[in-house]
C-alpha cells in the first residue's frame, strides 16, 4: 500500500453503516441492543436528518 492510500484511509470519516455498527457494539445488554436497533430504525444515523 502506498503512502497516499494509507494517508487517505487514516483520514477518512466512517460511513453511516460503520457508525451504526459501532453504536450497536457498545450495547451492554439485550434490552439495550434492542433499544439501539429501534433508534437506528427510527433514523438516528440518517444523512437527511436535518431538512435545511
20 is written with which cell numbers?
Answer: 451504526
Looking at residue 15, what is its pLDDT? 84
In a domain, 28, yes or no: yes
Q: Which residue has the higher pLDDT, 46 or 11?
A: 11
In a domain, 1, yes or no: no
CA distance 27 to 9: 27
Model confidence at 7: pLDDT above 90 = no
Identify whether the C-beta of residue 51 lies closer than 8 Å to the C-beta of residue 20: no
Looking at residue 49, what is its pLDDT? 56
Looking at residue 14, what is its pLDDT? 81
Type and span of the H or E element at 30: helix 30-41
In a domain, 8, yes or no: no
Residues 6 or more apart whose Cβ sits within 8 Å of residue 34: none
- Quote the domain boundaries for residue 36: 14-49
pTM: 0.67
The total number of structural domains in the chain stands at 1
pLDDT by residue (tens digit) across 10-45?
A: 888 888 889 899 999 999 999 999 999 999 998 887
Amino acid at each position: 500500500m502506498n503512502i497516499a492510500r494509507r494517508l487517505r484511509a487514516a483520514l477518512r470519516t466512517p460511513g453511516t453503516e460503520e457508525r451504526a455498527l459501532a453504536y450497536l457494539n457498545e450495547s451492554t445488554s439485550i434490552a439495550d441492543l434492542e433499544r439501539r436497533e429501534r433508534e437506528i430504525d427510527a433514523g438516528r444515523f440518517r444523512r437527511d436528518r436535518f431538512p435545511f
